[in-house]
Amino acid sequence: MMKYFTHTNAGKLKLNFRAKMNLLTTGLIFVLLLLSTFLGNGVMILLIHHGFINAGPPSSQIPLLIQTGIISIIIGTLITLLISHLPLKPLHTLVEAIHQVSTGNYDVKIHLEHPAEFREVSDCFNHMTEELSCTEMLRSDFINNFSHEFKTPIVSVLGFAKLLKSDQLTKDQREEYLDIIIEESRRLSELSTTILDLSRIESLSSLSGQTTFSLSEQIREAILLLEYKWSQKHLKLDLNLEELDILADEALLKQAWINLLDNGIKFSPEFGKLSVSLHTKDGTCIVKVQDHGPGMDQVTSDLIFTKFYQGDTSHQSEGNGLGLALVKKIIELHRGTVTVESNTGKGSTFIVVLPL
């Protein structure tokens, strides 16, 4: 009911807007034509008065002027009715397109060439709808993935919890089922934590409570926290960390390093190499995390920091499409940048630049 009410009101507002704009334009054109008629008659009076035009005896001049004025007004009115809609046609097209977007149609496009000012409006509008369409697609994909991410461990926990009620299970079976329940519960906990962290960080517009600490030591700590992951894949770590201190939010930056390293570990092949470097340049510190995994194409590189986006579907079970979006927000809060250099089949290098 509310949706119908909203769309109905939007339609009425659109019609009222059009009617008012048509009336305003028609009125302005009519007034201009009326003024030009009186001005023309005034000029004619002056020309007759000074003898430039022979209009006959004075008694016939006034009816001539009145007839000329009436004819001019009639012709002006007809012209007004015929052309009054032309200046507003681009605006009507834009209003109609905006109405389509308000109803959820992000595929609408407009092509306004005249007047020239509307060309830029047209280009901006089309770019906006493309961005909205892309965001909507990502949101839809995430809802599907997110539902799957939550549902799968819940179903697993429920199923193995029911099996544990059986008296016929061996000790080894019970241990196996309990381990599965613990692992699936951990996945749910990590997903919930990531969602809460992203929500909290997105609400921040600036940082408070910054402290000075060793950035190189913090990166080492993040690597140690993930030892159980990179040791399982037998990865070789290549560290080149310049010793330096930085003023920043220690907890947030640590989360950023953990997410970047975790991403590199996830996409590294077994017995592969993960390179991490830290150095200073021109008043900034630069952190690079390089893996030798499958890499990514340009389309994936452009979207990799977008919320909910998962480029490599073969690793969906290991992530939720939020980790790198979280990294980007944290780095931007520190007035820094994060980019990626990657080629398909040649691995990826994530580069973080922070001001000192």
Last residue of a domain, one of 147, 181, 203: 203
Do 288 and 238 fall into the same domain?
yes
Render each residue's pLDDT in the chain as its tens digit; 356 residues: 334 334 445 444 444 545 555 565 666 666 666 666 666 666 556 655 665 555 555 555 566 666 666 666 666 666 666 655 555 677 777 778 888 877 777 778 877 776 666 777 788 888 888 877 777 776 776 666 667 667 777 888 888 888 888 888 888 888 888 988 898 888 788 777 777 777 777 667 667 778 999 999 999 999 998 998 888 999 999 999 999 999 998 888 998 999 999 999 998 999 999 999 999 998 999 999 999 888 888 888 888 887 767 666 554 445 556 788 889 989 998 999 999 998 888 889 999 999 98
Show the tokens assigned to 180: 């599965």
**Separation CA 84–CA 28 (nearest Å):** 9
- What's the domain range around 319? 211-355
Inside any domain, residue 95: no
**Separation CA 152–CA 184 (nearest Å):** 9
Number of structural domains in the chain: 3
| Helical spans, DSSP H, in the chain | 2-49, 58-83, 89-102, 116-163, 171-202, 215-225, 227-232, 250-267, 298-303, 323-333
Inside any domain, residue 100: no
Do 63 and 139 fall into the same domain?
no
**Separation CA 351–CA 286 (nearest Å):** 7
Do 228 and 128 fall into the same domain?
no
Do 340 and 218 fall into the same domain?
yes
Inside any domain, residue 256: yes
∠ CA 68-74-79 to the nearest 5 degrees? 120
Inside any domain, residue 98: no
Do 183 and 245 fall into the same domain?
no
Last residue of a domain, one of 87, 121, 153: 87
pLDDT of residue 78: 66
Do 244 and 350 fall into the same domain?
yes
DSSP calls for 3-34: HHHHHHHHHHHHHHHHHHHHHHHHHHHHHHHH
Residues in a beta bridge with 237: 274
Do 239 and 330 fall into the same domain?
yes
Inside any domain, residue 97: no
Inside any domain, residue 143: yes
Last residue of a domain, one of 172, 203, 234: 203
Do 60 and 31 fall into the same domain?
yes
- Full-prediction pTM beyond 0.85? no
Do 238 and 323 fall into the same domain?
yes
Inside any domain, residue 78: yes
Do 191 and 325 fall into the same domain?
no
Do 122 and 160 fall into the same domain?
yes
Sheet holding 348-355, edge to edge: 236-241, 273-281, 284-290, 348-355, 337-342
**Separation CA 64–CA 58 (nearest Å):** 10
Do 168 and 116 fall into the same domain?
yes
Q: What is the CATH classification number for the domain harbouring 179?
A: 1.10.287.130
Inside any domain, residue 93: no
